[in-house]
């Protein structure tokens, strides 16, 4: 059985980190060794000064942030990363890695355990802090001597925030996009419903579906989980504008079990495409990591010159609403970080706006990363 259930780019590279004599100690107390990390690089390092930007991906993202050339498949952040884009790969060197617990090249539930079978339900709990620990070790492996910036949106923004709070000297600037210090009850509820749908699928088999030859796994439950989550990524206005009550019946009559609405067909499409590229056990682990994150729940001593922090939020974002952003910015300001907050009110796309062409937002990111100052050399531990 493949160790990478998700489709991956031909540009994917892998590094194996944390040998048995120096294993990765997770925040839960469990340990992992021979941690495989899938990553991609865009642009070139500048030997004269740090120009590396680490991009942290969102919940179901991968290392493939953008095309490497015109013949490559699109990446998940095409509007942001690439030549002439806000994260300009003609000037900047970008590293993006699949997170610990993911299913696109990095050690996760699909990785083989001591018996050679997938770890599956035995894969340990991971945290946002664990993800950052692996990112930092990868950079050491790649020979990085310092970062120009750490950038992330959604769960990626949580990773960037954790990096900022625990290792502020690693980078000159941190960009936190469409994110928060913790999830609201509304967001926790959506994740809980999604996980319940996965567990209720007979194909889940207590998380050991990888051991069942020929079994498809909990594809129906995972698809429903995606439908539920997708509603938190869009705004009510965007759903109304795109679909309203427009009818789009199934090609063959579905009866009372299926509604006739275009919005239903859209969500069904999202479910079908998602289950072809993601693993249910990874979804359970990563949503749990996102749920458990509470950035300011433990003391945050800040020493040395504080890096610049840019927060980007969207008025139409349901997943991270205004109250979540206010909590984040208030706490960061209290810690003394130089903080700029950009709030976009032009896009009705909701949480997904951070992935889309929103001119004012993209211009603000480009300005935050402009080469108007040469970053000080910072040590990468």
Using pLDDT thresholds of 50, 70 and 90, give the confidence band for residue 3. very low
- Quick one: pLDDT at residue 212? 87
pLDDT at 18: 98
pLDDT tops 80 at residue 313: yes
- Average pLDDT on 51-70 reads 96
| Residue 298 pLDDT | 87
Tell me 324's DSSP state.
H
For position 372, what pLDDT does the model report? 54
Mean pLDDT, range 222-228, rounded to an integer: 98
End-to-end CA distance of the chain: 36
Lowest mean pLDDT among 10-19, 57-66, 109-118: 109-118
Q: What's the whole-number mean pLDDT along residues 214-236?
A: 95
CA dist 209 and 218 (Å) reads: 8
Rounded to an integer, the average pLDDT of 305-321 is: 96
Catalytic residue numbers, as ranges: 154, 317, 351
d(CA 28, CA 364): 38
pLDDT for the residue numbered 315: 98
Q: Classify the C-alpha dihedral 312-293-189-209 as positive or negative.
A: positive
Provide CB contacts within 8 A for 253, sequence distance 6+: none
pLDDT above 60: residue 374: no
pLDDT of res. 83: 97
Cα–Cα nearest to 345, from 369, 311, 323, 312: 312
Q: Looking at residue 371, what is its pLDDT?
A: 61
Read off the pLDDT of each residue in 6-27 and give the average, rounded to a whole number.
93
State the average pLDDT over residues 93-109: 97
275's enclosing H/E stretch is helix 262-275
- Alpha-carbon distance 322 to 345, whole Å? 11
Span 78-100, mean pLDDT? Answer: 97
pLDDT at 376 over 80: no
Q: What band does 4 get if pLDDT is binned at 50, 70 and 90?
A: low
* C-alpha distances in Å from residue 127, one per residue of 100, 150, 281, 293: 9, 18, 15, 7
Torsion of the alpha carbons at 285, 290, 295 and 296, rounded to the nearest 10 = -100
Per-residue pLDDT tens over the stretch 144-179: 988 999 999 999 999 999 999 999 999 999 999 999
Q: What pLDDT does 126 receive?
A: 98
Orientation of helix 219-233 relative to helix 280-292, angle to 10°: 40
Burial class (CB in 10 A: 0-12, 13-18, 19+), 213: exposed
- Quickly count: other Cβ atoms within 10 Å of residue 258's Cβ: 14
Nearest to 175 by CA among 146, 155, 152, 158: 152
In Å, how far are 217, 228, 264, 320, 340 from 353, measured between CA atoms? 32, 18, 21, 12, 19
Q: Which helix (H) or strand (E) covers residue 310, if one does?
A: strand 308-314
Is the full-model pTM beyond 0.85? yes
373: pLDDT strictly greater than 80:
no
Crossing angle of helices 155-166 and 280-292, rounded to 10°:
50
Question: Distance between CA 329 and CA 142 in Å, rounded?
Answer: 32
């Amino acid at each position: 059985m493949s160790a990478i259930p998700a489709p991956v780019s031909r540009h994917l590279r892998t590094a194996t980190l944390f040998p048995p004599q120096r294993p990765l100690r997770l925040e839960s107390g469990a340990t992992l060794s021979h941690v495989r990390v899938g990553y991609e690089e865009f642009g070139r390092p500048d030997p004269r000064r740090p120009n590396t930007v680490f991009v942290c991906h969102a919940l179901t993202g991968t290392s493939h942030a953008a095309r490497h050339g015109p013949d490559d498949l699109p990446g998940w952040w095409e509007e942001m990363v690439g030549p002439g884009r806000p994260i300009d790969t003609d000037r900047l060197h970008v590293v993006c890695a699949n997170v610990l617990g993911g299913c696109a090249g990095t050690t996760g539930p699909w990785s083989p355990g001591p018996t050679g079978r997938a770890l599956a339900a035995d894969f340990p709990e991971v945290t946002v802090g664990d993800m950052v620990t692996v990112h930092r070790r990868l950079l050491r492996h790649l020979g990085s001597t310092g970062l120009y910036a750490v950038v992330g949106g959604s769960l990626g923004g949580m990773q960037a925030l954790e990096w900022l709070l625990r290792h502020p000297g690693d980078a000159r600037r941190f960009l936190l996009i469409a994110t928060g210090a913790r999830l609201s009850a509304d967001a926790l509820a959506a994740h809980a419903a999604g996980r319940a749908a996965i567990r209720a699928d007979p194909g889940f088999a207590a998380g050991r579906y990888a051991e069942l030859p020929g079994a498809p796994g909990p594809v129906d439950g995972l698809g429903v989980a995606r439908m539920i989550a997708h509603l938190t990524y869009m705004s009510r206005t965007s759903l109304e504008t795109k679909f309203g009550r427009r009818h789009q019946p199934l090609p063959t009559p579905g009866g009372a079990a299926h509604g006739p609405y275009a919005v239903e067909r859209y969500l069904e499409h999202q479910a079908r495409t998602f289950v072809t590229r993601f693993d249910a056990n990874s979804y359970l682990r990563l949503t749990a990591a996102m749920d458990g994150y509470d950035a300011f729940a433990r003391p945050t001593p800040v020493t040395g010159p504080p890096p610049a922090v840019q927060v980007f939020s969207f008025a139409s974002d349901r997943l991270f609403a205004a109250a979540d952003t206010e909590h984040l910015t208030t706490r960061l300001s209290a810690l003394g970080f130089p903080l700029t907050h950009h709030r976009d009110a032009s896009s009705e796309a909701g949480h997904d706006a951070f992935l889309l062409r929103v001119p004012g937002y993209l211009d603000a990111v480009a300005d935050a990363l402009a080469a108007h100052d040469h970053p000080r050399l910072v040590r990468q531990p």
